[in-house]
Amino acid sequence: MTGKDVLKFANEKGAKMVDLKFCDMLGTWQHLTVPLHQLTAEAFEEGYGFDGSSIRGWKGIEESDMIIMPDPSTAMMDPFMQVPTLSLICDVCLPETLQAYNRDPRQVVKKAIAYMQSTGIADTAYFGPEAEFFIFDDIRYEQTNNSAFYMIDSDEAVWNTGRDEGGKNLGYKIRPKEGYFPALPTDSQQDLRTEICLELERCGMQVERHHHEVASSQGEINFRFDTALNMGDKMMWFKYIVKNVAKRYGKTVTFMPKPIFGDNGSGMHIHMSLWKDGKNLFAGNKYAGLSEMALHYIGGVLKHAPALCGIINPTTNSYKRLVPGFEAPTKLAYSFKNRSAAMRIPNSGPNPKAKRIEFRTPDPSANIYLAEAAILMAGLDGIINKINPGDPLDKDIYGLPPQEAAAIPSVPGTLEESLNHLMKNCSFLKKGDVFTDDLIETWVQYKIDKEVRPVQQRPVPYEFHLYYDC
């Protein structure tokens, strides 16, 4: 659409308001809303001002004026607002020049695609993330100087088999690691997930399937892959829709990687392939039907994975998921069909158009734009430098003897370790000015100051269990 098309669309849909959404550095949608009469043709060229100092990790108060620029191609009606409201996703710009702001995640993925195209390697990068999530009935948490707690509840969780439910406890609860995927009535979230799917399709996403996941209260909904920028926008809509439909049902959703101890966490497995002139460049006659280019792409991602984890597993909670025994791949190996490897080649059949690779390490707390851009830059580095991924590992990696497992590189064990890898190995991200020094340094410092250190400084309840009587 052009700006003129958007105005026509808004009037046809009876829009009264316009919601302007943009993604902050950490991956959360922010928004402001204006009456429809404030959306003019000039607004698509001049944008709207806002206070950048109030957004996490962005401008200081002494230089806080910033601009959001609506992207007309993203126009759709918001399905959750009572008053008919047009939604537009925006890019963030500097007011003096209207140039792209280097800490705007959406601009970063645009630069990554431009860099890829400048190399001549490919003209299109397709991504298909699969973000798992938890649906809870109640969540309470608190942190003070002298106390801390969290309390999660779900009607289908195994800890409620003995709960007094007014004489109506029917006992259909999901035991740990048995949520994949029993039918109704054990799966209590079928209708909720179906309604999410219908809202996704109304917003232009082609849903492929939905199902209960391994952990109690955990779900997954897959929708069709798309180009990098479009998929980034769609994943933002996906999280927004999942959370708001759950709210309609009086439930709450989290994309936190590991909210429950002793059961599987939530990953965001990312399928990807590179194309040029309508041809899938990852299809070939090498291992598992891959091309040599695809193997080099894998080599680049695996080589840079410890640094990538600072972006694709960006929370302290991410490393509660990346532990052995819960299907989260901690070993940096690749394999055909094998879900215990960090990089999996799905059995996609004989159709070369379906050939792709699946990176299973990322989790859904990641900023999707930054994650796509960083993984793409690592893969391109592998292609340019012909990085050999080594031999595939066609074994159950979770069941390897300790001595054999120790010889396989692992993901970092903490967020701080990942951030240190990122600072030491970030030159591949900076090619084409995709990730700037300013963005990387700001990201790392924010994570250290606002997340790593505060978590390190606070006692947790289990420490009282272990040490109070020492």
Q: C-alpha distances in angstroms, 87 versus 16, 30, 77, 98, 115?
A: 11, 12, 6, 21, 29
Query: What are the strands, taking DSSP E only, across 316-381?
Result: 334-336, 343-345, 357-359
DSSP codes joined into one string, 443-457? HHHHHIIIIIHHHHH
The reply to whether 130 belongs to the active site is: yes
The reply to whether 360 belongs to the active site is: yes
132 is in an annotated binding site: yes
103 is in an annotated binding site: no
The reply to whether 213 belongs to the active site is: yes
**Which of 71, 187, 226, 358 is the catalytic position?**
358
360 is in an annotated binding site: yes
The reply to whether 106 belongs to the active site is: no
**Which of 5, 51, 191, 438 is the catalytic position?**
51
292 is in an annotated binding site: no
Question: Where does residue 187 fall: left (phi above 0), alpha (psi -120 to 50 degrees), or beta otherwise?
Answer: beta
353 is in an annotated binding site: yes
- Nearest CA to 302 out of 247, 337, 342, 352 is that of 342
Q: Residue 399: which residues within 8 A CB-CB, separation 6 or more?
A: none
56 is in an annotated binding site: no
1 is in an annotated binding site: no
CA distance 88 to 322: 36
CA distance 219 to 202: 20
- Beta-carbon count within 10 A of 430 CB: 14
Computed from CA positions of residues 382, 383, 384, 388, in that sequence, does the dihedral angle turn out positive or negative? positive
**Which of 212, 304, 344, 360 is the catalytic position?**
360
The reply to whether 132 belongs to the active site is: yes
The reply to whether 358 belongs to the active site is: yes
Q: Determine contact, residues 378/292, Cβ cutoff 8 Å.
A: no
**Which of 71, 78, 104, 132 is the catalytic position?**
132
230 is in an annotated binding site: no
**Which of 106, 193, 212, 269 is the catalytic position?**
269
273 is in an annotated binding site: yes
410 is in an annotated binding site: no
202 is in an annotated binding site: no
225 is in an annotated binding site: yes
The reply to whether 404 belongs to the active site is: no
181 is in an annotated binding site: no
**Which of 130, 155, 156, 372 is the catalytic position?**
130
- The verdict on whether omega for the bond into residue 181 sits within 30 degrees of 0, i.e. cis, is yes
205 is in an annotated binding site: no
Active site residues: 51, 130, 132, 213, 220, 269, 339, 358, 360
Q: Which residues does the annotation place in the binding site for Mg(2+)? A: 130, 132, 213, 220, 269, 358
Q: Which residues does the annotation place in the binding site for L-glutamate? A: 264-265, 321, 327, 339, 360
Q: Which residues does the annotation place in the binding site? A: 130, 132, 208, 213, 220, 223-225, 264-265, 269, 271-273, 321, 327, 339, 353, 358, 360
Q: Which residues does the annotation place in the binding site for ATP? A: 208, 223-225, 271-273, 339, 353
